[in-house]
Chains A and B, each alone.
Chain A
Amino acid sequence: MINEEFDYIINQKLHQYEAPVSAGLWNKIHVAIPASDNDFAFDSFVKDQLVNLIAPVPADLWEKVKPAEEKRRRIFFFLPRTSMIAASLLLLVFAGSVSAYLYYQKVHSGEVSSTNGTGNSGSSAGIVKWQKKSDRITANAAEEKSVLPNNQNSSIGSVIKTNIKNSTVAFLNSSNGIIKSSQGIPAKLPINRSENNFIQPNISTEADIAIAESYNGAKKAGSAFIANKRNIYNASLEKSISYFNESGKLKNIIICPSDRKSRNTDWDLEIYMGPDYAAKSVISNNATPQFLSRKDSSETAGISYSAGFRIVKPINDHFSIKTGLNFTQINEKFSYRSENEIKTTTIVTQRIIIRAPGDTITISDTSTLQQIGFKNNNVKNRYRSIDIPILFGYQFGDDNLRIGINAGVMVNLTSWYQGMIFDSSFTPQTVNKSSDMVYKKNIGLGLYAGLSFMKRLNYNTHIFAEPYFRYNLSDMNMPGSAYKQRFSIGGLSLGLRFNLNQR
């Protein structure tokens, strides 16, 4: 699997993905907090870890998700699309953080002190130590609460590096109290709230006492405990965190560049080939009924085919225009009977000659035998044309299967014919490209309508089937011909559609 394919899969899997969390998850989390510690140490711990948190995104992350070419095509706003989206998100997060900070400043009081820990994957040395002003927590192995960035060496301070590519889900490890988080935090996530301004409200309500009791019970049972809505701050903090990561239900939002909109600027190539059936209409100008009857009985439609390619320019998610080259060959069987035909066959004969009584010889002779009869001749008439399709398409459906309608005109570039036809005396005459005095070199315009069914094969390739009908607007005979002939074609185009931008 190549990087582009992996990126595509991740893109598809995480796009607007919501990951439900089982109801009992948080109940299983046991935070070993000493009885003497503050019951709300966990909340403070999370809070401290998110203070001034900046989650850097690998520099090439969006480069892999979003092709560079697409950035160059964002000429309207002078900036690449990914940058615009990232900037918007950052601005949104920043504004939200500032708002939350200002709000918390107003409602919280008290001090929160913290010490920076050294993050070290797989090692107790990387545990972040934290201590509240009133209840200090010693960073012992069994009792410490730690935040350990996933697979990353965390920078000094409260920096969580989030690896979207690896996309692990944040969870609490009940055995060692480690929170691993590589959740899909979309971008750098600075939390600018100052911990010094954090004010811990007094815990004096009955609910708080109940929470403390619940915590102690959970501790004795060896299971995780999460306090719910201890106070306004914790409620707000919990809400803030759950916005990004977790609450009763974790909702991860991976904001990817709009795939559909980016496709609008793509160029696609359709290559197709398929069988046709041509229905012929013949109208007499001055041909006799006998001639038309003989012509009709001598010409039988065969399986024809078309092939070509079309360049597709999507206008938006649904509409597109198409043009290219289309080659059509209408096959027809022309049957006629020719009389007094001589067929010569080489044969070997044996003759027994009696030269005299008792003198018999056998003569073998290779000679020819001529027979006369008639021939039923079958000639394949071929009506060929090269056209430029100018089609307008509308399609709907999801990325996997789309249904579309294509309609437009077929502009004939050239037509030529090969085969045999009857002349007015019912004598078969040969018609070819150079000596054709019967049919036009250009048959003008035709109307085209087709219904396409398209299924994605891989990231850049679709396969499609398009039954269609083509109606030619003009006759194919030269002026002054004894009859007017016109073909209407029904067919099925089978082909592949390639994205030329190689996303």
Chain B
Amino acid sequence: MQTVKKLLSLFLIALAFACNKEVSEDFISYSISNPLNDTTWAKNITGSAAIHTLADSIFPIYFSDSIDAETNTTITFSNNLELSFPANIFTNNSQSGKITGKLLVQVIRLEKESDFIFASKATYSNIPLESDGALFIRVLKNGQELSLIPNSSYTIRFINKDNLADDNMKVYTGVESSPLISSGIDFNFSWNNNILIQSQATIYNKQITGGGYLKGYQITAKQLRWIAVAKPMEAPFTKTKLSAYLPLNFTNKNTLVFAIFSDHKAVVQLKPDYISRTFSASDFPNQKKIKLVSISVIGKNYYFSKLNINAVDNIPAFSLKPEKKSLLYIFTELIK
């Protein structure tokens, strides 16, 4: 009977083990042609890189209106923005002769820090800039972009969201690649306030209904496209090199990293550092409270990370851990 019991025990044990479900799986990765598997960094980012797709997908929308080329016209947009175009100031570089007829005016306004991020236009010119706003203005005739006749100008008036104006603000114009890049990111873009030295930003008071005034900026602009009101971040402050690193899936081909100052109207983009596979910004103000954000696109998926830093304080580098998020979530998070 002992033998029988042993055999029955073995039988029951065998049955018990037989109940286990066994699943095995072998993972074979696709080639690096799949964006998620491409962990390489590019020394020179091509026009087909995902980062351009990312920039286009988050790029701000245009406000559009029309003017008559031969008539003095003032266009009023929402959020206290006015554009005054004198008659006969536009020209088409490829054609001689007077521009007539209706012209399409397109405007992008960057008010908040998040707007600069969406437009991939950080407020930085060797050092961080504090900006009260920036505009992108272009005039089209039959789909062709026009430029100003030399020595002509138009007037921009706007009031910021705080209804305040800073007397120290200067006019900065955007320096772009040539020829112009119609989409994606212009890696050569920079803000410069030396070229249009004659552009002036003055404070103007806008009378409002019921009495009283709002202080705003009035710019006599001698150039279309990017123009901003900004000033260098107030010194003195010590400088450091701010770096951020991300998991290997996030490279300079698919990721943008920005530092948003909490106490300044400034946004700094951390540029890719190919050697260290990090994103970094030199001459970054120390002891500043900032927020590091990263936006990435891999394939059709967007990734976002945010890191609040109370004080940079010579900390060499920060780790960002992006997570897959919707584009709406990213917008919402950045607008906060």
Contact = CB atoms under 8 A, between A and B. Distances in A.
Interface of A: 269, 271, 273, 305, 307, 327, 329, 341-343, 347, 349, 351-356, 361, 363, 365, 367-380, 382, 418, 461, 496, 498
Contacts of B18: 305, 329, 382
B192 interface: no
Contacts of A305: 14, 18
A370 B34 CA distance: 12
Interface stretch (B49-57, B214-222, B275-283): B275-283
Give the secondary structure class of A's interface. Answer: strand
Most chain B beta carbons < 10 A, residue from A329, A347, A371? A371
Nearest to A370: B249
Given A351-B245, A363-B317, A371-B29, A379 B23 contact: yes
Interface string B1-21: 001100110010011001001
16 contacts: A329-B18, A351-B245, A352-B275, A354-B275, A363-B316, A365-B245, A365-B319, A367-B319, A370-B249, A372-B30, A372-B36, A373-B27, A378-B25, A380-B21, A382-B18, A418-B21
Interface string B122-161: 0000000000000000000000000000000000000000
Contact of B23 (A363, A367, A378): A378
B271 to A, nearest CB: 13
A5 to B, nearest CB: 15
Contacts of B8: 271
Most chain B beta carbons < 10 A, residue from A329, A347, A361, A367? A367
Contact of A372 (B29, B277, B319): B29
Contacts of A372: 29-30, 34, 36-37
A369 B37 CA distance: 9
B248 interface: yes
Nearest to A376: B26
B248 A369 contact: yes
Contacts of A343: 27, 29
Contacts of B247: 367-370
A347 B245 CA distance: 14
Contacts of A373: 27-30, 34, 37
Contacts of A370: 36, 247, 249
A356 B29 contact: no
B263 interface: no
A273 B7 CA distance: 10
Given A307-B14, A341-B27, A461-B3, A380 B319 contact: no
Nearest to A355: B241
Contacts of B15: 307, 327
Nearest to B4: A498
Given A367-B248, A368-B247, A371-B36, A356 B241 contact: yes
Contacts of A375: 25-28
A299 to B, nearest CB: 15
B25 A369 contact: no
A361 B14 CA distance: 58
A372 B7 CA distance: 49
Nearest to A379: B23
A342 B27 CA distance: 9
Contacts of B22: 379-380
B43 to A, nearest CB: 16
Given A271-B4, A378-B26, A382-B18, 18 more contacts: A269-B4, A271-B8, A342-B36, A353-B241, A353-B273, A354-B275, A355-B240, A361-B316, A363-B278, A368-B247, A370-B247, A370-B249, A371-B36, A376-B25, A377-B24, A377-B25, A418-B21, A496-B3
